[in-house]
Structure 1
Amino acid sequence: MTGAELVTLFSRLNIGELPGAYAALLRGFERATNAAEAEQRAEDINELLWALKTGQVVTADQALAMDAELRHALYAARVRLGVA
């Protein structure tokens, strides 16, 4: 999914569904087959985080926590793919 598609999908969720949906989204890094795919996923998720934060769907603290989770998932994917 592109960043725009993710924004559309997440905008349809209620606030209680966001944490689970975000966790599922991050698990997608486990399926990345190369570094470029992992980097593109990170870009798309960053676009989503920006939209959630600027749309005041999540607080600044929640956005920071989500960003930290993203960085951790991306790092784990890089290690798995041997590019860290």
Structure 2
Amino acid sequence: MINWKIRFKNPIFISQLLLSFIVPILGYFGLTAQDITTWASLFSLLVDAFSNPYVVVLVIISVWNAVTDPTTRGIKDSNLAKQYEFLKK
């Protein structure tokens, strides 16, 4: 089990998760964030990305890398991390 409540309190985790969606999509299409200048272009890019199985797999792998804790076996948080109520300082 992953302690989602505590992870979403961490801005670093949130930024990792957002970037794990954005970077593979922009990279595959050879774009930068500056190329997305309208809502229409953003919507079109997302439709193209999620219509492409290869890009979807890239995003899934990227999210997997952002979510898993490399210090524990499997995808679970450690027993100590599961007990956290607040971010550890």
Q: TM-score, normalised by structure 2?
A: 0.35
Q: Which structure has more RCO (C-alpha within 8 Å, separation ≥ 6)?
A: 2
The structure number with the bigger radius of gyration is 2
TM-score by length of 1: 0.36
Relative to its length, the structure with more helix (as a share) is 1
